[in-house]
Structure 1
Amino acid sequence: MERWSWPSGGAWLLVAARALLQLLRSDLRLGRPLLAVLALLAALDWLCQRLLPPPAALAVLAAAGWVALSRLARSPRLPVATRVVLITGCDTGFGKEAAKKLDAMGFMVLATVLDLDSSGSLELRACCSSRLKLLQLDLTKPEDISRVLEFTKAHTINSGLWGLVNNAGTNNVVANVELSSEATFRHCMEVNFFGTLELTRGLLPLLRRSSGRIVTLGSPAGDMPFPGLAAYGTSKAAMGLLMDSFSCELLPWGVKVSTIKPSCFKTESVLNVDYWEERKQLLLATMSQELLQDYGEDYVEHLHKAFLQSLSLAVADLSPVIDAITDALLAAQPRHRYYPGPGMGVMYFIHYYLPEALRRRFLQSFFNNPCLPRALRSGQPGPTPVQEAGQGPDLSPTPRVA
């Protein structure tokens, strides 16, 4: 083993030199991501010394270290100067916090809200500078979109529009596809896809002129089949593909497009237990007698209880998402995808690389004792765990709801 120590030492010397250079340039932070990379490199070093000849071990370890440090490197930031950014959905959550941070950085922020008199609107008026402008916008109303477009064009004649942050979104049901009405799917599509599409298309001339940025809040539910979130996830999947199309088509104009896919964060909409209770009661009231007989009211109750319990995993600190929005707007070379929040790397690794049965089991593990519909319980009166019944629907945790 000692004869293999020289590739390990040589590779670590290269990694250390690269890390030191990045630290001196301030494009690398000391923190958990760097420690995680070093731990993974140490494990890879152990494997390389036992499985590979010295030259190959040196090449693999050095390449892995170089790539990992490159991924951690922060792209140089552009100056804020007089840049203008429009953010949708600023009543609560990510939109409100992003508006506050970008305003503090010196951006001219055009913040759209559903209600100009909401608590979030009042908070933005109180804590932000006079540069921030509040605009009323309901993405399901073409007249609201037209008014925002006209205002933005009129107020960016001299400065131009640098960025659009598509944050506004909605989800109003947690239910199986069969239990979700067509109106639910249409509403999610109207807000999360069609409204965002119309606003983005209307602003493209301004964004092309400035070679600016489009930043969109997506969701892992748009990539993975989260049971209970089909309406929301379908709209986010459509939006994700649309943004990929924009990314290719706008590249010659210099417009950079980024999509942010956060884990579950404690935004106001996620924590509004009364809202989810109201939606559950409406779902039960509108279900047909046949569906109530086959699924059972206790199945819906159990699904919603499990959904609320899964939200205990939500992260209170919203700063990882706000930092991703800021980086996407100001980095000289922003990422095409951002995955802020703990566990996202593991979740996507499982989704893309493990067998389907393991993927389902992983998603199911986030729920407390998922159950079968009434018609599949073999006469049992109460909720029957899926594990005991042998098969049944997967019930997974929800990602962030905008």
Structure 2
Amino acid sequence: MERWPWPSGGAWLLVAARALLQLLRADLRLGSPLLAALGLLAALDWLCQRLLPPPAALAVLAATGWITLSRLARPPRLPVATRAVLITGCDTGFGKETAKKLDAMGFMVLATVLDLNSLGALELRASCSPRLKLLQMDLTKPEDISHVLEFTKAHTTSTGLWGLVNNAGFNDIVADVELSPMAKFRNCMEVNFFGVLALTKGLLPLLRRSRGRIVTLGSPAGDMPYPCLAAYGTSKAAIVLLMDLFGSELLPWGIKVSVIQPACFKTESVINVNLWEQRKELLLANLPQELLQAYGEDYIEYSHKQFLNSLSKALPDLSPVTDAITDALLAARPRRRYYPGRGMGLMYFIHYYLPESLRRRFLQTFFIGPRVPRALQPGQPGLTLAQDATQNPNLNPGPSPVVAR
């Protein structure tokens, strides 16, 4: 087949014109996704020249370029106007930064904090407009939730409640399931599931009236078996399933439900090494002697050190998460799931498409690697070397190199 001149001028002119128009309208960002798309279009052009006659190649390239730019375009946004949003957990981290951003955009923000005199609460008072209202709420206390519900109903009569951002979360243990006390599982469920459920159900009449939005912070630990995050991960798995149920059941009411599954970011709780040290010491002090003998103190110390190592690699810029929350509140067609943070696409690809053994190895490599409990190490009473090799072929008693995510 005779080759024809590169590039396909008409198709590329159409693609360039649309890309320029979208950039001028701020519907498109000049970044790696756009550059990657243009590179793939160039490869497609090269392939079409060799396989298709000119008219067909021109049509394929033009259609592909148009569809690609449509997919890359930012979804249309709703106006902020006088929309009111309730955000939980605004003392620190994602909640505090989201409250500041939405206030600057013109939202009426109702921000809940554990302590009205905390540093985060004081920062919000100093940096935000008088529209922002601070409310004290502990999600484990029904009276606090009732107070917030009544306040919200009374202060949104003119504007309505457009959105609820379930950001508040809790975790205070890093340990295997067997080493985690039942009380820790209950504490995580009380905050991350039952508290969120009670608040969301209480606000549904307002959200149904406004045909508004529910945005909830989940965690990849609720989708994947992260080592030593059992209590936290199971509570996040429960709340994400609940939000999927809400997303289906509230669709006829016009309410859109989104879940944010962020990577590890440097929030205040993540970088507070002293707090994690105290929690580890508390775990060791209260662990039943039988379990301490079976696993060994060095096993817990090793897991703790690798956990801290992974936290040291946390992402410093919180804006991908606040941007995702904003999009979920204002996009005309918000996504059901958002995955802000570097590496999340690869992580979920591995989780959904690779064999279970590779998925487990990936989490161990990038989070907390395997270590043999004391009772299973060679030479311990009741276990011969042959039994150890047979029962634990993939385990190594020494530490393995770990790269934190």
* 1:340–1:9 Cα change, 3 Å: farther
* 1:143–1:270 Cα change, 3 Å: same
* 1:197–1:11 Cα change, 3 Å: farther
- Relative to the length of structure 2, the TM-score reads 0.87
Q: Match for residue 383 of structure 1? A: none
Opposite residue 353 of structure 1, the aligned amino acid is Y
Opposite residue 216 of structure 1, the aligned amino acid is T
Q: How does 1:1-400 map to 2 (within 5 A)?
A: 3=3, 15-39=15-39, 53-54=51-52, 65-66=65-66, 68-367=68-367, 370-379=370-379, 390-392=393-395
**Secondary structure at 1:203's aligned position in 2?**
helix
CA contact (8 A) 1:214 1:258 kept: yes
* 1:24–1:138 Cα change, 3 Å: same
Deviation at 1:189, TM superposition (A): 0.7
Deviation at 1:286, TM superposition (A): 1.7
User: For 1:189 and 1:127, how far apart are their aligned partners in 2?
Assistant: 33
Q: Which one scores higher on RCO, CA 8 angstroms, separation ≥ 6?
A: 1
**Secondary structure at 2:352's aligned position in 1?**
helix
Q: Which moved more, 1:82-91 or 1:59-68?
A: 59-68
CA contact (8 A) 2:365 2:403 kept: no
* 1:76–1:368 Cα change, 3 Å: closer
Q: Which moved more, 1:110-119 or 1:52-61?
A: 52-61
Q: Match for residue 385 of structure 2? A: none
**Secondary structure at 2:134's aligned position in 1?**
strand
User: For 2:38 and 2:30, how far apart are their aligned partners in 1?
Assistant: 11
User: For 2:404 and 2:143, how far apart are their aligned partners in 1?
Assistant: 32
Deviation at 1:39, TM superposition (A): 4.3
Listed one character per residue, the Cα deviations across residues 141-191 of structure 1 (whole Å, up to 9, x for unaligned) are 111101100010011111110110000001111111111111111111110
- Relative to the length of structure 1, the TM-score reads 0.88
User: For 1:357 and 1:237, how far apart are their aligned partners in 2?
Assistant: 21
User: For 1:173 and 1:38, how far apart are their aligned partners in 2?
Assistant: 46
User: For 1:205 and 1:287, how far apart are their aligned partners in 2?
Assistant: 45
Q: Structure 2: which 5+ runs fail to align?
A: 381-388
CA contact (8 A) 1:367 1:395 kept: no
**Secondary structure at 1:179's aligned position in 2?**
coil
* 1:304–1:129 Cα change, 3 Å: same
Who wins on radius of gyration, i.e. which is larger? 2
Q: Structure 1: which 5+ runs fail to align?
A: 381-385
* 1:64–1:265 Cα change, 3 Å: farther
Supply the RMSD in Å over aligned alpha carbons: 2.9
* 1:258–1:368 Cα change, 3 Å: closer
Taking only the aligned residue pairs, the percentage that are identical comes to 76
**Secondary structure at 1:162's aligned position in 2?**
strand
* 1:109–1:304 Cα change, 3 Å: same
Opposite residue 132 of structure 1, the aligned amino acid is L
Aligned length in residues:
390
Deviation at 1:19, TM superposition (A): 2.8
Listed one character per residue, the Cα deviations across residues 182-225 of structure 1 (whole Å, up to 9, x for unaligned) are 11111111100110010001000001101111111111111111
User: For 1:157 and 1:124, how far apart are their aligned partners in 2?
Assistant: 24
CA contact (8 A) 2:83 2:108 kept: yes
Deviation at 1:44, TM superposition (A): 6.5
User: For 1:245 and 1:44, how far apart are their aligned partners in 2?
Assistant: 41
**Secondary structure at 2:259's aligned position in 1?**
strand
